[in-house]
Amino acid sequence: MPEERSVGERLLNLVYALAQTKIGLTKNDILSVVEAYSNSKADKTSIERMFERDKEILRDNGINITVFEPLGDDGNNQDSRYLISQEEVTFPAEVTFDAKEMALLNLAASAWNNAGQSKMLGSALFKLKALGQSSEEHFFDVRPQIPIVDKNFFEIESAIEENREITFTYLKPGASSVTKRRLRPEALLEFDYRWHVFGIDLSSEKPRTFLLSRIVGEVKKEGTKFVPSIAIKGKSAAEFALEDLARFADQNTAILKVQPHSRAVGELKKHGLRFSGNHDSINKQVFDVPAEYLDAEISFVDSELFADELASFGPEVIVLEPAMLREAVIARLQIVNGLHDGASDGGE
The CATH architecture annotation of domain 153-248 reads: Roll (2.30)
Encode pLDDT of 114-146 as tens digits: 444 444 544 544 444 444 444 444 444 444 444
Decide which of 321 and 96 is more confident. Answer: 321
The per-residue pLDDT for 148 is 53
pTM above 0.85, yes or no: no
Q: Across the strands, what pairs with 319?
A: 256
Q: Which helix (H) or strand (E) holds 217?
A: strand 215-225
Q: Across the strands, what pairs with 254?
A: 298
Pick from 99-103, 150-154, 172-176: least confident: 99-103
- With beta carbons less than 8 A apart as the criterion, state whether 299 and 250 touch: yes
Residues 6+ away with beta carbon under 8 Å from 46: 40
Share of the chain above pLDDT 90, in %: 24
Encode pLDDT of 180-229 as tens digits: 999 999 988 888 878 899 999 998 889 999 999 999 999 999 988 898 87
* CA 103/CA 51 separation, integer angstroms: 35
Decide which of 88 and 150 is more confident. Answer: 150
- With beta carbons less than 8 A apart as the criterion, state whether 194 and 150 touch: no
* CA 19/CA 138 separation, integer angstroms: 11
Pick from 50-54, 100-104, 290-294: least confident: 100-104
The per-residue pLDDT for 1 is 42
Encode pLDDT of 308-346 as tens digits: 999 999 999 999 999 999 999 999 888 877 765 554 455
Decide which of 257 and 93 is more confident. Answer: 257
The per-residue pLDDT for 214 is 93
N residues, the chain: 348
- Taking 70 as the threshold, does the pLDDT of residue 91 lie above it? no
Helix, strand, coil % in the chain, rounded to nearest 5 = 45, 20, 30
- With beta carbons less than 8 A apart as the criterion, state whether 135 and 126 touch: no
What letters, b where the CB count within 10 A reaches 16 and e where it falls short, cover 106-135?
beebbeebeeebbebbebbbebbeeeebbe
**CA-CA distances (angstroms) from residue 75 to 81, 98, 129, 339?**
12, 50, 28, 62
Pick from 138-142, 162-166, 259-263: least confident: 138-142
For the chain, the average pLDDT equals: 78
* CA 242/CA 339 separation, integer angstroms: 39
- With beta carbons less than 8 A apart as the criterion, state whether 169 and 180 touch: yes
* CA 226/CA 186 separation, integer angstroms: 10
Query: Domain limits of the chain?
Result: 3-138, 153-248, 252-346
DSSP annotation string for 15-41: HHHHHH-SS-EEHHHHHHHSHHHHT--
* CA 324/CA 303 separation, integer angstroms: 9
